[in-house]
Structure 1
Amino acid sequence: MKNRWLGMACVLPLLVACNSESSAIKVSSETVSQKQIDTIVSNINKLYPEATQEQKQKAAEVVVRAIENMVFVEGGSFDMGDFKMDCDFPTKSENRLDWSPDAQCLSHFASSMFGAQYLHKVTLDSYSISKYEASFIDMEWMRQINQLPVGANKWEGYAQLKDIVQRDTEEYSELMKWHYKNHKPAQTKTWQESKDYCQWLGEVSGLPFDLPTEAQWEYAARSRGQHYYYATNDGYRSLSEGQYFSPTAERYIDVKASEVNTGRSSEEYIGRWPSNPLGIYGMSNGIYEWVNDWYEKDYYLSSVEANPLGPKTGTQKVIRDSVSNKMTFGRSGQDIESDTYNPSLSFRCSIQQPKPITK
């Protein structure tokens, strides 16, 4: 009989206090300070008094995770754009290039199509950038607590429909299960959605979250502006069953299974392949990423050197790691709005302050 009453610690005078404690948002972190977590929890409770406890809890976890995933990038100077390659590249593969100061030829045909051929000096202040793209699940909890529609379209077989998935359906339940299992990036149909997500993180955390600028994105992809053609662990794009020519062996060499660091199609899940030397994942993974800048083909000809922000206006935004060019300097323009959500068009956030943000 004694054990039967162990769960009755909340007698009537203490009932309210016990319920309050049980419904409190509980988040811990090894890298985010308790003071910062308290700010996040306080802001969520103030901003969303009518939200469910689950929505508040998940939103807090999303914001703390976003801070945990930040990589501090020390500022510096670099030559932004296509830094060229040797015209008679010895490996006979654009996936395995080594830069030399004598490089004379454009590294990719798309450089001249989208303005990356204009090499120019850029100097950046320090900042932080997420090691991962924003995930679909994290984006969904942000959308849910803000009473926004699900960021996904319905499908009929292999055909994407314009209708949005509804949360009160079995289809939504299956969608969430699939994304929890596969951990895919957030999908967008407008640039503004990516901007809003990053700024929401800022509103809740009190930190200057935003999309990275185009220059910040490239500087980070190149591990602080080094001459890496791909944002992989070794600067090469090593594909399963790939080959390259070895000048020393004077024959073609098969890429070893242990060397594979990317895939031919878009990445199966966030963090699937090794990070670049700076510790950032997925910047050469076939998932296009929005940045903050308006797109203008010839902007590099007039870009300022210090912390460039891109053109003042435009009709398209810059995307990086696009289908046209997966190299670290590859760029193209993308319409800011489309009719349906694109599973291959995502983003990552940054924090625009010149000092590390974790404890």
Structure 2
Amino acid sequence: MTPVSALCFFALLAGCSSPEPPSDNEIAEVLDSTKRNLVFVEGGEFWLGDVGNEAGVPFNPLNEDNKPPKRVELDGFSMLKTEVTWGDFVMFLRDVGRAEDYTIDNGFTRAVSLPIISSDDPVSPNYKYKPARSPNFQEAENYCLWLAEKAELPFSLPSEAQWEYAARNRGQAIAFATDTGEVELDKYLRGPSYQIDPMQPVSGNVLIHSLLVVERRPVGSYPPNPLGLHDMTGNVAEWTRDWFYPGFAHLSTRNPVATQPSRQHAGKRVVRDLAGRGNHIGGYATVYGRMGRSLDSYFQGFRCVVNQPEPIN
């Protein structure tokens, strides 16, 4: 048994017991760090969807679900500069008494890859600073609503338009949400799974690797985009709060969000940052890649926004 698989095994064993609820101080620390990690994104107008490069060539030629672009206007909002961490997410599940719902004993077979326990060990796949992978859409949404209740601020998952606007540096025609707008792939996870070393130094400016490999870098390991947001290309894919529709014709032009499911794709929400799923062929890893995932899909990460048109003090 490899060190990583052994840690997964012991995490599973520990996950079978009922976790203690967090203390008030632990929750206060999460709220304080969350507020410190908010980045204000000034509102404005932009073309939502694949606008193409200067030569008119689409960034994502194999996908028609992001065309034609639609002109929309957004109010300002604040967004978490990193994906929600595994440690913060597990604390939320402990606080609301649902951590023990996601165990093999309770029928959650995916606990093999998502044991609900947080670790202080950087080598562990459950290291607290690695990105959370919610066991379903509802718990990702619930986390942001939990923040809203605790912090008394209008937190939510980002709308698809908010997500893309922020990833594109307030709507610029760029391909990737990195520091340079281009990708320099980290060499991490490129070898056989038995050679994975979580302590391998970071290289490049983005991690794009198969979703089948659960291991990821701690949030914020790579340089942020010009707005100060990390990992909006790569690491893990991210939930938005929109129901999935092909294209954008259904959306309003001001602060758009799809609040009703489509008949054709009922039960699917929009997931962005397909680079976090390892997709890279035909431009799917660009900031224009999008897909609908069922509500019980369990490998997506997420970040939260505050729907307030001025910065948070």
Superposed pair shares fold, TM > 0.5: yes
Residue range with higher mean Cα deviation, 305-314 or 202-211: 305-314
Whole-angstrom distance in 1 between the partners of 2:234 and 2:172: 19
Q: TM-score, normalised by structure 2?
A: 0.75
Query: CA separation of 1:132/1:304 partners in 2, compared to 1, >3 Å: closer, same or farther?
Result: same
Q: Please give the alpha-carbon distance, in whole angstroms, between the structure 2 residues aligned to 1:163 and 1:61.
A: 29
Q: CA deviation at 1:237?
A: 1.0
Q: For residues 302 and 52 of structure 1, what CA distance do their matches in structure 2 show?
A: 45
Q: Which amino acid aligns with 2:237?
A: Y
Tell me whether 1:287 sits opposite 2:236 in the alignment: yes
Amino acid at match of 2:252: V
- The yes-or-no answer on 1:261 pairing with 2:205 is yes
The structural deviation recorded for 1:52 is: 7.5
- More deviation, 302-311/287-296: 302-311
In the alignment, structure 2 segments of 5+ residues that lack a partner are: 1-18, 188-200, 211-215
Confirm or deny: 8 A CA contact 2:90 2:116 kept in the other structure.
no
Alignment-derived partner of residue 78 in structure 1: 46
Counterpart residue number, 1:106: 58
Match of 1:306 in 2: 254
Does the CA-based 8 Å contact 1:191-1:336 persist in structure 2?
A: yes
From 30, 48, 56, the counterpart of 2:24: 56
Q: Contact 1:152 / 1:187 at 8 angstroms: preserved in 2?
A: no
Q: Deviations over 1:52-78 (max 9, x none)?
A: 795221111111211111100000011
Q: State how 1:107-186 maps to structure 2 within 5 Å.
A: 107-112=59-64, 115-150=65-100, 162=109, 164=111, 175=119, 177=121, 178=124, 181=127, 183-186=129-132
Are the equivalent residues in 1 in contact too, given 2:52–2:173 (CA < 8 A)?
A: no
Q: What is the CA–CA distance in structure 2 between the aligned matches of 1:109 and 1:152, rounded to whole Å? A: 39
* Aligned counterparts of 1:106 and 1:146: Cα–Cα separation in 2: 44
* SS of equivalent to 2:162: helix
* Aligned residue number for residue 197 of structure 2: none
Deviation string 1:223-266 (CA, Å, 9 cap, x unpaired) is 1111121000010012258xxxxxxxxxxxxxxx9992113327
1:333 to 268, 282, 292: 292
Report the RMSD for the aligned CA atoms in angstroms: 2.8
**Contact 1:286-1:326 at 8 Å conserved across structures:** no
Overall identity of the aligned pairs, in %: 32
Structure-2 residue corresponding to 1:347: 302
Which of 1 and 2 has greater Rg? 1
The SS at the match of 2:73 is strand
* Distance in 2 (alpha carbons) for counterparts of 1:234 and 1:179: 29
2: CA distance, partners of 1:208 / 1:261: 32
Residue 123 of structure 1 deviates from its aligned partner by 0.6
Alpha-carbon contact 1:132-1:281 (below 8 Å) kept: yes
Q: Which one-letter code corresponds to 2:71 in the other structure?
A: K
**Bigger strand share:** 1
Residue 158 of structure 2: aligned partner: 212
Partners of 1:151 and 1:188 within 8 A in 2:
no
| Cα distance change of structure 1 residues 284 and 173 upon mapping to structure 2, 3 Å threshold | closer
Distance in 2 of aligned mates of 1:136 and 1:174: 7
Seen in structure 2, the aligned counterparts of structure 1 residues 328 and 53 have a Cα distance that, compared at 3 Å, is: closer
In the alignment of these two chains, the number of paired residues is: 260
Cα–Cα, structure 1 residues 60 and 180, in superposed 2: closer, same or farther, change >3 Å?
A: farther
Among residues 296, 302, 325, which one is paired with 2:245 in the alignment? 296
1:76/1:224 contact within 8 Å kept: yes
Does the 8 Å contact 1:315/1:335 carry over to 2? yes
Distance 1:152 1:229, change over 3 A: farther
Q: What SS does the corresponding residue of 1:79 show, helix, strand or coil?
A: strand
Cα distance in 1 between the residues matched to 2:103 and 2:185:
31
